[in-house]
Structure 1
Amino acid sequence: MAATPVWSVDPRTGKQREQVAAEATPQDLDEAVRAAHASRTALADRTARIAFLRAAAELLDGSAEAVVRTADAETALGTARLTGELARTTYQLRAFADAVEEGSYLDIRIDHPAPDLAPPRPGLRRYKVPLGVVAVYAASNFPLAFSVPGGDTASALAAGCPVVVKAHPDHPATSELCGSLLRRAAVAVGLPEAVVAVVHGFEAGLDLIRHPLVSAAGFTGSIRGGRALFDAASARPVPIPFHGELGSLNPVVVTPSAAAERAEEIGAGLAGSVTLGVGQFCVKPGLVLVPAGPDGDRLAEALAKGLADTGPGVLLDHRMRDGFVSGVAERAALPEVTAPVAAGPGPDAGDGGSGGHTVAAGFLSVPAGRLTDPAYAVLLEECFGPVTVLARYADQHEAATVLDRLPGNLSATLQLSAAETAGGPGPAAELIDRVTRLAGRVVVNGWPTGVAVAPAQHHGGPYPAATSHSTSVGGTAIERWLRPVAYQSVPDPLLPPELRDANPLGLPRRVTP
């Protein structure tokens, strides 16, 4: 039986560009996972891992022109956006190399024996070890930073886990190019190239999560796809951790005093956030609680102007375009929902048109009180693409009632006035407490689009934003791929080097006498 070809598609036209790979057969997938599993011993060398991560960053930077050109041809995200995304990607690789070198990610704890305690305490030494082969499911909207060379891959490799990446069908050529660069980097520092593998195909993705040698998985994508994989990971004879980033509405609350103080500024900022990356960011604001009245009207007018100035954009594939168009239409058809700026298909877009996957940005408006009606539940769900919903609320109680109906989110944003940011008890403090319950990141007087790669970052949230309480961005993302092991009363010569009294590796540790 002939292998199923994998084609690269130009989203600007909707036409096939070139065949870049073939879908992995069950045998191909099994061989990739087994080779990755066999590379674990080599990857356990921390020095080699550090060198590998840094070499991968250097090769990606050195191939920047080809990487960006290929990614833009498949995603239409633009060279400026993709150049920045590549810089973020290589920064992540170097940051994880630094983390491995510094060593605190191992969380080494040593408790010396204390026989006089009641009860007596034995000698205990604890650190973290890698789980094993990690399956990474690449995201559509970030062909670099959340794909083959992205944060899941970088953090797993840093932990000492080989990676098999299921490439996203929206950017297979970019995936193949980046995968080849990572494998070159591995060989250059003396590691097997099998520490990173790339596979294609829907069935390969299912086979990957079920493979008995896969020990954990990371996913960024839709609720439907992520939940199916999560359930498959849980249904295995030996269930495995599944760290999925699924969907998020990312609510924004604009207080009455903030609207009175800077309505135009907030409206313009909202337009930029909603249309960034053609609304394909996982932290795009999808629901904005805006006060009813003249100040809220001024904000809506500024938002409309900002959206009009942006112009049409190109979504990643026809499924996303179709989902966006139908999702906007379903929401706009609800009673009392208006479309001050109509979102929908762009000029000449669609099957047979020259506009490919082009769409127009817009926003919907609805009285906030309607959102307590189950018939309006779709307005509390993510619509992927450049559209948001303005919910006009009458008072703080009505806004709070809407917030209490929301599921988990990656982010929640508060637009506050200068007086409200001064602190102390009051409505602003109550709002922060309320949104902390439903989001993994709380933003004040900024916008959630743009997730800084930093040690204190958290990119996750209550379900369905994520399937675990971990982060997929920032230094602590490495913790997903490690498990703790404690050694009790083990003689020093038999301990791993990381735990020996002499600390031959010079690692940070917490010691209890």
Structure 2
Amino acid sequence: MHTTTRIAEVDRATELAGDAFAATVGASDDTRAGWLRAIADALDAHVDDLVALADGETALGAARLTGEVARTTGQLRLFAAVLADGGYLEAIIDHAAPGRPDLRRMLRPLGPVAVYAASNFPFAFSVAGGDTASALAVGCPVVVKAHPGHPETSRRTAALVTEALAAAGAPVGAFGLVEGFEAGLALIDHPAITAAAFTGSVAGGRALFDRAAARPAPIPFFGELGSINPVVVTEAADAVRGAELAAGLAASFQLGVGQFCTKPGLVFVPEGSVLEAALPAQVGRAPHRLLTEAIARGFRAGLEHLAGVPGAALVAGTVSEPAAGPEPLVYAVDLATFTDPAFTATLTTEVFGPVTLLVRYPDAATLVGALAALEGSLTATVHAEPDEDVTALSAVLADRVGRLLFGGWPTGVAVTWSQQHGGPWPATTSQHTSVGATAVRRFQRPIVYQDAPEAVLPAALREDNPLGIPRRVDGVQVR
């Protein structure tokens, strides 16, 4: 059952978050780490119930969803480790010198954060996902706008988060949940909200991005939007292992019914490639329904646009949509069509679902020029042989993505200290990551204390370093 939160309730949730910030901003790293671990423990303790609810609403399958709960609790515990390290504060001290005051700089939390949950990850990018975890980690209360694609899962997760935070001593208002389109708009408009994080479509994200900027007091908006994730297969790689690459591509673009933001949606292959010849045998797994009717409509519209491009050929799959859902599909065009200004926009627009587009290129030099016309993506992948010089390919792709793979496929996103899950527009609205340890940086701002009395300095900037954190002191990194 879909529920819409009344505007008065949105106001109440955000006002409580504002009140809670007075406590969360001053809570110690150990205290906030305890909050995160408490949430993780609660989710792990109820994994079977959560998976059953989510599978009923999304049909993603118990195995996939069980793994996603584990990823979600792993993220929460990673951010607890980030707090223990202390480097996330970026503490810097420059002692007074002739003609210069004493300056001490660190990062502090922004304030209450609005999180807009995604449809395709009912746990890892939803109520207790990475955005919520990273905001809570640095002391920002969170109000989540639930996704209508899995409402019962969202409510149950929110109840567990609320209970866990209360038991761990977090202040009332540190976490809240709202539902409904109008509630989502009221949330981003509320003056207590200091930043917003979103994962979803370009259209939806851009509308919220613009709204965040149009507020009387504009706020940062961290949106993960559309991404086509180009893949380049060199002539040598195709000749040596084209059939193997076909199997890898098929597994990647069909994973999760193609409903991954890192799905390889655009694949550059040599004309007459082994990969293209081998791909049809790897495509056409049993149809599966898409997550929401809105996604299904977008998928159908995207296919119509692709099929309407002159010369676009369907090389794998059958265009049909049985009750069980659409079949996976592969289209192909030549490079001349792809670079034609009349068709480039259509051919480089993400189609969310089980489809990918092959672009047949005649030679490496022409390929590099075509890649220069691409917009931003989360990822790009190069499949080449060890003795090939891919410097030019790497340079043009590195300008356009946040993660550049050499071999492998982009649909797996490891949750680590070094991960970057973000890229130039339209992949994201900022250059910060939404996955990995440095995701906390989105919800912090710098502050400098000049000639401050010791008594008013945060612990991170006091002379004796009571937290024992890494700091840069007079230009030297000190642990």
TM-score range, shorter chain: over 0.9
- Determine which of 278, 286, 291 is the counterpart of 1:302: 278
- Residues 283 and 317, structure 2, Cα contact 8 Å, conserved in 1: no
For 2:15 and 2:437, the matched residues in 1 are separated by 28
Q: CA RMSD in A?
A: 1.2
1:394 aligns with 2:362: yes
Structure 1 residue 343, shift from structure 2 partner: 5.1
Does the CA-based 8 Å contact 1:233-1:239 persist in structure 2? yes
Paired residues for 1:196-275 under 5 Å: 196-275=175-254
Rounded to whole Å, the distance in 2 between the matches of 1:193 and 1:276 is 40
Percent identical residues: 51
1:77 partner amino acid? L
Alignment deviations for residues 143-193 of structure 1 (CA, whole Å, 9 cap, x no partner): 110010100000000010000000001011111111111111111111134
Match of 2:321 in 1: 346
- Equivalent-residue separation in structure 2 for 1:236 and 1:167 (angstroms): 22
**Of 382, 385, 397, the match for 2:350:** 382
Distance change in 2, residues 1:87/1:343 (3 Å): farther
Aligned match of 1:474: 436
Is 1:371 aligned to 2:334, yes or no? no
Pairs within 5 Å for 1:101-140: 101-115=84-98, 120-140=99-119
Matches within 5 A, 1:66-465: 66-115=49-98, 120-293=99-272, 296=273, 298-308=274-284, 310-342=285-317, 344-347=319-322, 349=323, 355=324, 358-376=325-343, 377-420=345-388, 426=389, 428-465=390-427
Paired residue type of 1:216: A
CA drift of 1:323 comes to 1.6
CA apart distance, 1:497:
1.9
Is residue 280–residue 317 contact of structure 2 (8 Å, CA) maintained in 1?
no
Distance in structure 1 (CA, Å) of the matches to 2:304 and 2:319: 8
Instruction: Verify the 8 A CA contact 1:250 1:412 in the aligned structure 2.
Output: yes
Matches of 1:315 and 1:73 in 2, distance apart? Answer: 13
CA gap of 1:441–1:39, structure 2 versus 1, over 3 A, is: same
Instruction: Give the deviation of 1:395 after TM superposition.
Output: 0.8
Residues 1:31 and 2:31 aligned together? no
Normalising by structure 2, we get a TM-score of 0.96
Structure 1 unmatched runs, 5+? 1-5, 8-21, 350-354, 421-425
* Contact persistence 1:183–1:194 (CA under 8 A): no
Deviation at 1:25? 1.2
Aligned residues: 472
TM-score normalised by structure 1 residue count: 0.90
What is the CA distance between 1:501 and its match in structure 2? 1.1
What does the per-residue CA deviation read over 1:302-327, in whole Å, with 9 as the maximum and x for residues that have no partner? 2211113x221221011211221221
- Specify the code of the residue in structure 1 equivalent to 2:24: L
Whether the aligned pair in 1 keeps the contact of 2:259 and 2:352 (CA below 8 Å) is yes
Q: Which residue of 2 aligns with 1:56?
A: 39
Unpaired segments ≥5 residues, structure 2: none
**Aligned-pair CA distance for 1:65:** 0.1
Aligned residue type for 1:313: H
Using the alignment, how far apart are the partners of 1:406 and 1:285 within structure 2?
A: 14
Q: Does the CA-based 8 Å contact 1:59-1:181 persist in structure 2?
A: yes
Q: Distance in 2 between matches of 1:467 and 1:344?
A: 34
Contact map agreement 2:279 2:316 (CA 8 A) in 1: no
